[in-house]
Amino acid sequence: MPTNTPPTARYSPRARWFHWAAFACVALAYLFVNLRGYFPRGSGAGRTVMQSHYLFGLVVLALVLPRLLHRMRNTPPPVVPPLAGWESALSRLTHVALYAFLLLQPLLGLLAVWASGPLKLPFIALQIPSPMTPDHALHESIGHLHETIGEVFYYVIGLHIAGALWHHFVRRDNTLRRMA
């Protein structure tokens, strides 16, 4: 996609790849978990939908640490024109919340599954043994927390998207173009 933003004013190709890969995997994890209600519980299609949700959650988890390391080692390109103090603070807060979500949400999902046994993804021949003793009450408790945080993060993700669009269409700065 052509852009008028000079390459030095954009995030690195690796940072852009991490961002858009995480976006795609989070979107797919949400898609699959929302599809589960369309299939009978325990059916083959229902299991495949949930296993797809688990798979994309694991990919998000696998991406978050290298993404954070890359972010800590590479200074983001400046926003032009510069942000006001409150905008910068809100941006940092939103990004901390997003990174916390990208780390904690998949971990909670994995713990919820492990509380009921190993994580099985037969369609890719993957099984991750559980380090935990099966505990249905713990499974339910962690699963409820995982779902609640997932619902809250619809709003944080929405705030992130609204902020990007506000920067692009209202403020007319380079925030969105830096990630293009």
Give the predicted TM-score (pTM) of the model. 0.89
pLDDT tens, the chain, 180 aa long: 445 555 568 999 999 999 999 999 999 999 999 999 999 988 999 999 999 999 999 999 999 999 999 999 999 999 999 999 999 999 999 999 999 999 999 999 999 999 999 998 888 888 999 999 999 999 999 999 999 999 999 999 999 999 999 999 999 999 999 999
- Beta carbons of 11 and 178 less than 8 angstroms apart: yes
Domain span holding position 148: 7-179
pLDDT, residue 124, reads: 87
In angstroms, the CA 144 to CA 134 distance is 16
> Is there a domain that residue 111 lies in?
yes
Q: Give the start-end residues of each E strand in 23-154.
A: 119-121, 126-128
Structural domain total, the chain:
1
Q: Report if residue 47 sits inside a domain.
A: yes
19 vs 13: CA distance, rounded Å: 10
Residue 2 lies in a domain: no
**Exposed e or buried b per residue across 150-168, where buried means at least 16 C-beta atoms within 10 angstroms of its C-beta:** beebeebbebbeebeeebe
> Does 161 reside within a domain?
yes
pLDDT given at position 2: 46
Identify whether 14 is part of a domain: yes
Say which residue the tokens 């990919």 belong to: 59
- 162 inside domain: yes
CATH number of the structural domain spanning residue 75: 1.20.950
> Does residue 62 lie within any of the structural domains?
yes
Q: What are phi and psi of 126, to 5 degrees?
A: -120, 130
